[in-house]
Amino acid sequence: MAAPRPPRSDAQTRESAEEVARAAAAAADWPALVAAATPCVACPELAATRQHVVVGDPPVRGRARFALIGEAPGATEDGSGRPFVGKSGQLLDLLLAEAGLDRAEAAVLNIVKCRPPANRTPKTPEVTRCSGWLRRQLELLDPPVVVALGLSSAKWFLGPRTVLAEARGRPHDVDGRAVWATYHPSAAIRFGPAGAPRAGLLADLTSVAASLR
């Protein structure tokens, strides 16, 4: 068995994050960003175990009316190379339709583009190293409204001390965008059809739909 790799230092994390940010900034459009992100190995553990870099989906047509931003790809997403296509994605599609939102008009992204082993929560250095891709995606797609799905995504936009229960139910102005923090669809699945996360996610998506009218 190979010896475990020593943890990367903060300096190495910053250096990798800066390299990603430079590569992302150099991407003039979405296809260029996809080409730059696909071979990314900034997070060695994730690069060693992934099948695909799940860069994300731009809207099917026109400018993104809103963006849906989750935590990281799961197993189905890793296998297909697309975000939110597994069970969580199927529930998300159902609730979007109930709320009156069209996924075709959304950018669908994650804060981390590679699946963490066993679907664990992304580590802080992984989020740091990967953030340049998401920042550039937001610049290129320029959605006026962002739906942060789950606590990891909410913390990326609103800060590390964010409490989801306190942040929900209203938009937050972040760099000129309206950011709505809400439950991840996986939480809605875990707690079932009668659980608070599913009801809260639907309520928040309905509020987002009303704000876009």
Q: Which of 148, 116, 127, 145 is nearest to 45 (CA)?
A: 116
Q: Which of 145, 144, 137 is nearest to 110 (CA)?
A: 137
Measured distance CA(32)–CA(37) in Å, rounded: 9
- Confidence class for position 10, pLDDT limits 50, 70, 90: confident
Spatial neighbors of 28 by CB under 8 A, at least 6 apart, are none
Q: Which of 171, 177, 173, 175 is nearest to 204 (CA)?
A: 171
Residue 204: strand, helix, or coil: helix
CB 142 within 8 A of CB 164: no
Measured distance CA(152)–CA(134) in Å, rounded: 14
Spatial neighbors of 48 by CB under 8 A, at least 6 apart, are none
CB 145 within 8 A of CB 211: yes
Read off the pTM.
0.93
Measured distance CA(184)–CA(164) in Å, rounded: 11
List, for residues 87-139, the tens digit of each pLDDT value: 999 999 999 999 999 999 999 999 999 999 999 999 999 999 999 999 999 99
pLDDT score at 9 = 77
Where along the chain do its domains lie? 12-211
Looking at the domain that runs over 12-211, which CATH code has it been given?
A: 3.40.470.10
List, for residues 176-204, the tens digit of each pLDDT value: 999 999 999 999 999 999 999 999 999 99
